[in-house]
Every structure is written in structure tokens, then in C-alpha cells.
Amino acid sequence: VRTAKGQKQARAVKRLKVVAAFISSGNRPEQMVLEAVPVIPPELRPMVQLDGGRFATSDLNDLYRRVINRNNRLKRLLDLGAPEIIVNNEKRMLQEAVDALFDNGRRGRPVTGPGNRPLKSLSDMLKGKQGRFRQNLLGKRVDYSGRSVIVAGPYLKLHQCGLPKLMALELFKPFIMAQLVERKAAQNIKAAKKMVDSMIPEVWDVLEQVIHEHPVLLNRAPTLHRLGIQAFEPVLVEGKAIQVHPLVCHAFNADFDGDQMAVHLPLSAEAQAEARILMLSSNNILSPAHGQPLATPTQDMILGAYYLTYGPDADELSKVDRATHEPRPHCFRTAQEAELSYELGGVKLHDLAEFRPLGREGGHVLTTVGRIIYNDRIERALLEAMGDDFDPTQYDFVNKSMKKRDTTELVDQLVQSYGATTISQVLDAFKDLGFEFATKAGITISKNDVVIPPSKGDIVKSYEEKVAELTSQYDMGLITQEERHEAVVEQWNACTEEVADAMVANLDVLNPIFMMANSGARGSFKQIRQLAGMRGLMANPKGEIIERPVKANFMEGLDVLEYFTSTHGARKGLADTALRTADSGYLTRRLVDVAQDVIIREPDCGTQEYIELALYKETGDLNDNLLGRYAAHEIKTKRGRVIAEKAAQIDRPELADIIESATAEQLKLDNHGRVKIAVRSVLKCEATSGVCQACYGRSMASGQTAQIGDAVGIIAAQSIGEPGTQLTMRTFHTGGVAGADITHGLPR
């Protein structure tokens, strides 16, 4: 070990470790020598007769046969008293045969069968994804399950899913048969089975009764985080497709272009209770990764809400003179009046209206008819969900065009005010409202909506001149090839941006394509830029940017060379998606492997260690990481007022207090003039195994302190792995237009 270098030293250290282990454990080395080789049962190494009368055999038979042959030959040689050199050779061959049986290819060259294929040894049968453990023990097929294509079920409640009748009949068969016997409709189980198979009308009644309050689990592969499996109450539907609530699609990452989902049935009462309490979709509307609501409206629902609430913002409304505005704003006392007037054609959705809500201080609001309807639906849903606990005066009237971000923020705000369980009932109101008005809006796309900005030609021309100038500078030797390339790329990027800005400025605010992108419903201005602006620079397969930009857009059509340049990007998108999805899946697997034993084990490990978090991030935004953490010391102002006790959780009120005190310069600053808060952290936790509640703090999924027994390590691994896999799909969607995306710097 001392004298050797490099690999030899590593090998010596390895052998030394083995010797040290023998000494410390008290095992005797001679016990490690195999005197008998176990033979596995013949069913596990079968021989099959093929059509031509020949036999196909398991690789293990070959490996066993070699061991037996060599062992017998060695025995014979020893009996004959053969020379030592021959005996030693035979012993070596026997050792190699045994090695190959246990782990083929571990030592020396692998033993190959016909066609140079390495034979499958005992350890090959156990290891890897196709081995005994991962394939057969962890990946069993189960009874009481089925799979089918999914379609949208817009009329379902958040906790429901539509289950095809035939599927339910098969899944719940034993329950139905037991019920039929209990009802005396059938004499015995055999008769009941016959009744179910013949599908007599009585069976359907029993099925309705059996599925009542019996949740089923839906799962969409790949299950990247724990929200990939959720529980729903089944509703029987005609047809053969499973119906899924539109709002849970985001958590499953599902869409309706032919995706399939699997259904599993929890059998025992405990399993049903667990599914209902822990896994019901309406109890899982917050993401375990970041604590934001996941079940928020998307796409059509966003578009519907945007169309409904479209109009001037509060600042513009404050400048409106009601007396002179044309048409003069109507005045409504109740939302019902406004809705009735709209249905009778008296007012349009986007007309201005004065609204004087009953029993509210603060008088009248100038708003639009659509916004009155929007707020009324949400208020009614809150009232229905909370009953008498709902105080209408606490509800803030929403008076702006609701884009995707606004809707998500509103849902988040409602969750903070009323709790996630209440809001899960209100989300259905958002969904119904969105679908209803998206339908009434009748927004659609025509090719005439792709408007090319008139100034495009002039902009491109001016940049062509700048690029020509750069080329002449290079020709005169004033700049190097690399400088020229970088400068040209910079110019064309600026050109693309300028054309894009001109395009956005030129689009009408009620242009359907503009509305779709602006509301956040679907698509982005980056994509519209390719339709109506210019496609810009493309990257070649090596990731280098090609200097000649695609000056045309899809509306004008590309010429042959431009089309050819564009094809690089399309291929890159497809190749990346295939290659990186596998890499990121493997990353998730390794993360889970290291983090799986991090479980919350105790209430408080009592450590004095802590980390300091800045109150504001570099960007100037508030640091959300402070929320739900435990204070390591008491947090107090310069005057000695205690904001949070030691080991108290920092919640929104405390955080608001800290911000207020910081703004009033009542808190101590560090050397860089920043406010830092000392909080407990899992990085400093001293629990003997796992982590403690105080160091971990709040669980994102529930908004409460994490419970003892929560597998927080696995949740952390999933929270990193899931977006990682989603990001690999990202290139695919922009069609490979050159840009620094997140995967650019990652090695293959």
C-alpha cells in the first residue's frame, strides 16, 4: 500500500479493507470457501421444445453444465494422479466456471453462447431494471386494476372521476357478487357470477350502491411525483373512456390527445379510508414542491375568465368621467340584476357599469358587467362552501382583467384566507365559469389574425446594412473572425426583437391570437413571433448559431435555404426529448436513493445551530423561504419588542411584522446592510436518524408543520426530479429556435 502507485495502490487498499473486515468481524476466511454449489430448481431454468424438434434452454443450464463437466474432469485427473501442471490448469478452469455461474463477465472475458451473446448468470437475473427485484418483486401486476384512454369531464366535481360502466363492473365484481348473495337475489356465489356476466338490470343497481363512497385511485405514467397517483370518487359513465376533471390534469401532466390512465381499487376499509383522507384530489391542491396551488385553471378556463373580465384596469377606470362616457355606464344594485340585463341583451359583457353591492361600506365601484358576474360566481361558491362562516364584507372585489397569473394569485390568496379544503370546492366555480364564457366568446384562430407588422421590411433592411458594415470591417482586418461572428449574431438578435416588438404593438388587443398569448391561456409571444415576425437565428446540431437568420415567418413562407436551416432545430427538439428524459429519470432515481431515509423522526432535536436567511432576495423580492421556518433565536426589534419567540414558527403575521419593522429600520443589519433572520434548518439538524420537525418546519403540501413520519427526503427528491423531466420536453415546443435554454450547458 505504501510503495505502490495509482491503480495498484487502489487494488492493495481494497484487499487491505477485506482483510481488516475479517479481523474486526471475527469471521474465519476458510468459511468463505465454497464446498458445494447450490442448484436452483429446474422450473427456474426451463427447457422448451421448439417447432423443429430442437430444444431451447436457459443459459443457467449451460453454466451449470460447464461447472459439472470441469468438476468431474478434475476428479478424474486427481484419481489418475495427473501431473501438477494439468491439475492446476483444470482447477483454474473450474474456478472460472463457478465465477461465470455466479456473475458472468465480472472476472475476465464473459462466457458467450451462440452468436457471441454473453450468457445470463445468477446475478444478471437479479440485478438491473429487468432483474428479479425491480421487475417482479417491486413491479408486480395487480388484480382489481384496469387502464383506458382519458377524456375531459367538465361537469365533474374536483373529487370525482368518470368510470366506464363495463370497467366498474369488472373492477367491483367480487363486491357486486357478495351484495347479490346478501340481497338474496342469487342463491350462491356461482349464481351471482352468472348474473354479473349476463349483466341483468339488477346488477347495475347493485353496482351503483357498491361504488357509493368507495374511492378509486387513478395513476398516469410516468409517475414523477406523488401527485401522479390520486384518489377519486367514481361516477358511472357510458362509453369506454375514463373521464378526468380538467383541473387535476396539471398534477398528472395529462392532456387529452390520447393519454391513458390506470385505475386501481383500494379493497380494505383501511385502504379506502387512507385513500379518502390522504389521496383524495380535493385534499391535494397544493404542490408538495413549492406550496402553490396546482389545481388552478388553465387554457380554455383562463381564456374564458379573461374574456369575461376584459376591460380597462382600475387606474384607467378612475379617470373615466361617468357623466360624459359613451355609452353611459348602467348602475346595478345586485349581481343578479346585471346578469339578467346581460342575458336579455340590455348590456354587453365589456360595457362599463356602476355596481353598488348591498351591505358593503365603500359605496359604488366602476367596473364592467363581466366582472360583476365573475365576482358574484366566486362569492356564491364561497358561500356554498363555507355556509354561515363566510363574511361577504371580507371578500375583495376583483376589478381587473384576469390573466393566468392573476387567476393563480387569486386562488393562492383564497387558499391563504380560507384554507385549501374550502377552496377545492370553489375551484369548480372557476372551471364552470371559464368554460361557459370561453364557449360564449367563440374565440377562434383564422390566418387573417396573423398580422405581419408593416415596418418589418424597413427594420430588416436597416440591420442588413449594419451586418454588411461588420463584414467590410472584417475584410479590412479591423476585427477578427470570432468578433465578427459574435457581432453579427448580436445584430440579428436585436433585429428579431425589434420586429417582435413591432408585431406585438401592431396586434389589436381583441385579436384572438393576441388574447390567447396575453391571457396566458396558450402559446407565447415567442411562438407568435415565428408566425408573424421573423424566425430569427437557428442553431446547428453542435449547438453553434448559424449566422444567416431566417428572415421570413410562417405566414410569408420560408424559401428553400431557410427551410433547410430550420430543420436542424426540429431534429434537435426530438433528439433532446428522447435522450434527456432518460437521463433525468435516472437522476430522480439516484436522488431518491440517497434521500429515502430522511424521515421526520422527532419533534425537536434541540440543536443550537442555525442558518441565516436574508429577508429579501438579490432581486429585491421577499424571500419566501422564511415562511413556515422556526426561529432559532427570539426575533426582536432594537427597542426590545419580541416579534417571534425562540422556536416559534414564522407565519404570515410574523413575516408581515418583520417586514414592517425592517422598513422602519428597527431590525439589526449585517455587515452588508441586509436584514438576516436566524432560522432552524435541516442542514444543521442533530436528530440521530432523519430530521426533526423544528428543523424542517412547514410541509409545503399541507401548509401545516410537517408530521412525524413524513418521508420528506423522497418528497424533496421528487420535487427536483419532476421539473427536471419536464424541462427536457421544453426544447421540443419552441422548435429549436436558437436561445440559451436551461439544458444548453448540460453535458450529454
- Which H or E run contains 164? strand 160-164
What pLDDT is attached to residue 747?
39
- Which H or E run contains 151? strand 145-152
What pLDDT is attached to residue 748?
33
> How many CB atoms are located within 10 Å of the residue 416 CB?
12
CA 254 – CA 222 distance, rounded (Å): 10
Cell numbers describing residue 451: 398580422
CA distances from 292 to 104, 247, 520, 700 (A): 51, 14, 17, 8
| 710 Cβ contact partners less than 8 Å away, ≥ 6 residues apart | 599, 600, 699
What pLDDT is attached to residue 358?
64
> How many CB atoms are located within 10 Å of the residue 401 CB?
22
∠ CA 14-19-21, rounded to 5°: 95
Q: What is the 3-state secondary structure (H, E, C) of 39-104?
A: CCCHHHCCEEECCCCCEEECHHHHHHHHHHHHHHHHHHHHHHCCCHHHHHHHHHHHHHHHHHHHCC
CA 690 – CA 598 distance, rounded (Å): 4
What pLDDT is attached to residue 728?
62
Q: What is the DSSP letter of 133?
A: I
CA 730 – CA 527 distance, rounded (Å): 13
- Give which of 346, 171, 177, 355 is closest to 263, Cα–Cα: 171
Q: Round to the nearest angstrom and report the end-to-end CA distance of the chain.
A: 37
Cell numbers describing residue 315: 387606474
CA 300 – CA 256 distance, rounded (Å): 13
CA 495 – CA 529 distance, rounded (Å): 12
What pLDDT is attached to residue 650?
83
CA 381 – CA 429 distance, rounded (Å): 6
Cell numbers describing residue 303: 381564456
The position carrying cell 442558518 is 611
Buried b (16+ CB within 10 A) or exposed e, 436-448: bbbeebebeeeee
- What 3-state DSSP class applies to 280? strand
Where helices occur in 103-158 by DSSP H, the ranges are 122-126
- What 3-state DSSP class applies to 237? strand
Beta bridge partners of 242: 150
Domains, the chain, ordered by start: 1-31 (no CATH), 34-134 (no CATH), 145-283 (2.40.40.20), 299-405 (no CATH), 448-558 (1.10.132.30), 600-710 (3.90.100)
What pLDDT is attached to residue 574?
80
CA 160 – CA 244 distance, rounded (Å): 8
What pLDDT is attached to residue 314?
79
What pLDDT is attached to residue 745?
42
Beta bridge partners of 216: 232
CA 59 – CA 655 distance, rounded (Å): 66
Cell numbers describing residue 217: 385511485
Q: What is the DSSP string of 666-689?
A: -S---TTS--EEEE--GGG---SS
Question: Is the pTM higher than 0.75?
Answer: yes
> How many CB atoms are located within 10 Å of the residue 629 CB?
24
Q: Average pLDDT for consecutive 10-residue bins of the chain (748 residues)?
A: 83 91 89 89 90 87 94 95 94 93 87 88 86 79 92 92 93 91 86 89 90 92 89 94 93 91 94 92 88 87 92 83 78 88 88 77 79 91 86 82 91 86 87 92 90 91 92 90 90 92 90 90 87 86 84 89 85 78 83 91 88 82 82 80 81 81 74 80 89 89 86 90 70 50 43
Instruction: For 175-298, list the strands marked E by DSSP.
Output: 216-219, 229-237, 242-244, 260-264
